Amino acid sequence: MELRALPRTAYLLNPSRGPIVKEEALLSALRLGWIAGAALDTHFAYPLPADHPLWRFPNVILTPHVSGIDRSEAFPARMGELFVQNVERFLLGRPLLNEVTREEWLEA
């Protein structure tokens, strides 16, 4: 299994289609601690059902399939600025900008 070959400190980042990574393999890797976590912009089922196991992992970030959605010239610079600001906030223990909680997402 490819995910098991990664270092335990690795995070899986998947901004592409969900099925590129086998769902059961990812769930096993997360449950068994083969990887440190995952950030997924697309999911195996969309929208991801409220009872899906990925919601229960504190080391998984789920986004609503908006990675690179805007084609405006300002979008890349704005995303870079937002990323830098959120890294700084994270390091200082401050709340992140544009963070959506699981509860907020389920209400939408």
Active site residue 78: no
Q: Which of 4, 8, 17, 94 is catalytic?
A: 17
Catalytically annotated residue among 4, 8, 43, 65: 65
Give 43: exposed, middle or buried? Use CB within 10 Å, 0-12, 13-18, 19+: buried
Measured between alpha carbons, how far is 93 from 104 in angstroms, rounded to an integer?
21
Three-class SS state of 13: strand
Q: Is 31 a catalytic residue?
A: no
At residue 25, the 3 state secondary structure works out as: helix
Sign of the CA dihedral with 43 first, then 48, 53, and 55 last? positive
Q: What are the residue numbers of the active site?
A: 17, 65
